């Protein structure tokens, strides 16, 4: 295997205002952030999940719907939060298209309810948005923060509305537009890695697109970025995707080969052959150089961390070189976790 890429991380992270509230802990970003921050700041982190998600329990986990304004008010009054990491949101693309009122209630009204607590109290807010605020129709990607949002999905449109609510109410808040967060999920079948792997584990087909291109990012890197953003007072919108551009089909190729799954289970098609619901974005790759300049370093290891794990052609996943490690356990070690950050508190 080739040598690891050189990545420079921040030499220090400013103190996070505590206690900290993390919303949306059932999603991949929130689930991994909760593990990271709870391990690093024991007893000073509260995570909230939707009230009907009965299986998600544990120290610091509280049931409170984002759209429950009175419930949020009671929670803020009880815990006196000093900062909030907002990972909440309904990102189920098809569900959002079929029930736009639900998407609006969670992704927009939920943000506004949160602002009704953070703004009057002067609480530090870091909010997660996404790359799907763009359509990707130009095919070139490389979006910067000043490019106009033009989402093709209800999910993307509600994320834009949530951003606008924050910018209007709290210009000091930090909005991080992330791409695909690469890590484990609470349910075991949500998020890019777990959903694709769950299909392969059951020898079921997974169909991914040749021309939907993203900038996937290790959750380990994102956790450290959230910590820096909470403590250092970054304000405004920042793109927060890693540098490696991959089509969804390529991402599935990597998962298929590293996990040692049946290559016949992976199917690839262009977006034009997809079902009209939900609409599919194109190349929504983001340029994160504004964030790198603000921090003074690049916070992201490319995903995957090693060039030898990057597909070179459409049948790359069918190649199984002798001596190459392939297993679900290895997949977890190098795709769900960042090998560059061994020994760092990262939710293990």
Contacts of residue 112, Cβ cutoff 8 Å, sequence gap at least 6? 165, 169
Q: What is the pLDDT of residues 106-151, one digit of tens each?
A: 999 999 999 999 999 999 999 999 999 999 998 899 999 999 999 9
Is there a domain that residue 105 lies in? yes
Low-confidence ranges of the chain (pLDDT < 50): 1-11, 343-348
Q: Looking at the domain assignment, is residue 343 inside a domain?
A: no
CATH number for the domain spanning 38: value is: 3.40.50.720
Q: Please state, in angstroms and rounded to a whole number, the distance separating the CA atoms of residues 71 and 65.
A: 8
Q: How far apart are the first and last CA of the chain?
A: 25
147, part of any domain: yes
Is 345 inside any structural domain?
Answer: no
Nearest in space to 124 (alpha carbons), one of 173, 175, 176:
173
| CB of 90 closer than 8 Å to CB of 96 | yes
Q: What is the pTM of this model?
A: 0.93
Kindly state whether residue 11 falls inside one of the protein's structural domains.
no
Q: Give the pLDDT score at 13.
A: 63
Q: What is the 3-state secondary structure (H, E, C) of the chain?
A: CCCCCCCCCCCCCCCCCCCEEEECCCCHHHHHHHHHHHHHCCCCEEEEECCCCCCCCCCCEEECCCCCHHHHHHHHHHHCCCEEEECCCCCCHHHHHHCHHHHHHHHHHHHHHHHHHHHHHCCEEEEEEEHHHCCCCCCCCCECCCCCCCCCCHHHHHHHHHHHHHHHHCCCCEEEEECCEECCCCCCCCHHHHHHHHHHHCCCCEEEECCCEECCEEHHHHHHHHHHHHHHCCCEEEEECCCCCEEHHHHHHHHHHHHCCCHHHEEEECHHHCCCCCCCCCECCECCHHHHHHHCCCCCCECCCCHHHCCCCCCHHHCCCCCCCCCHHHHHHHHHCCHHHCCCCCCC
* pLDDT for 141: 95
pLDDT score, position 67: 81
342 assigned to some structural domain: no
User: What digits encode the pLDDT tens for the residues 224-258?
Assistant: 999 999 999 899 999 999 999 999 999 999 999 99
* pLDDT number for residue 7: 41
In a domain, 6, yes or no: no
For the chain, how many structural domains are there in total?
1
Note the pLDDT of residue 218. 98
Q: Is residue 238 domain-resident?
A: yes
Q: Which two tokens stand for residue 18?
A: 């505590």
25 touches 31 (CB < 8 A): yes
Give me the domain span that covers residue 249.
20-337
């Amino acid at each position: 295997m080739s040598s690891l890429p050189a990545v420079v991380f921040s030499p220090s992270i400013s103190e996070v205002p505590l206690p900290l509230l993390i919303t949306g802990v059932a999603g991949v970003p929130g689930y991994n952030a909760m593990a990271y921050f709870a391990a690093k700041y024991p007893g000073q982190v509260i995570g909230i999940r939707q009230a009907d998600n009965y299986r998600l329990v544990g120290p610091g986990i509280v049931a409170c719907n984002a759209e429950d304004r009175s419930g949020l008010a009671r929670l803020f009054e009880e815990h006196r939060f000093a900062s909030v990491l907002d990972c909440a949101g309904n990102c189920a693309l098809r569900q959002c298209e079929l029930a736009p009122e639900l998407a609006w209630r969670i992704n927009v009204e939920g943000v506004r309810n949160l602002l009704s607590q953070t703004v009057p109290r002067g609480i530090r807010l870091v909010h997660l948005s996404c790359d799907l605020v763009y359509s990707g129709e130009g095919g070139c990607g490389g979006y910067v923060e000043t490019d106009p949002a033009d989402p093709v999905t209800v999910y993307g449109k509600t994320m834009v509305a949530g951003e606008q609510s924050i910018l209007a109410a709290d210009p000091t808040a930090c909005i991080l537009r992330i791409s695909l967060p690469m890590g484990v999920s609470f349910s075991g079948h949500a998020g890019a890695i777990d959903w694709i792997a769950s299909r392969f584990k059951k020898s079921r087909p997974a169909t991914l697109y040749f021309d939907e291109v993203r900038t996937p990012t290790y959750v380990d890197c994102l956790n450290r970025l959230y910590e820096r953003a909470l403590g250092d007072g970054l304000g405004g919108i920042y793109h927060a995707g890693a540098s490696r551009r991959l089509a969804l089909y390529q991402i599935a190729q990597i998962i298929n080969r590293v996990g040692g799954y049946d290559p016949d289970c992976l199917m690839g098609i262009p977006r034009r052959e997809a079902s009209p619901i939900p609409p599919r974005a194109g190349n929504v790759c983001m340029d994160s150089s504004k964030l790198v300049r603000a921090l003074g370093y690049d916070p992201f290891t490319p995903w995957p961390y090693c060039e030898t794990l990057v597909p070179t052609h459409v049948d790359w996943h069918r190649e199984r070189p002798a001596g190459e490690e392939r297993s679900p356990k290895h997949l977890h070690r190098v795709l769900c976790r960042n090998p560059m950050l061994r020994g760092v508190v990262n939710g293990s």
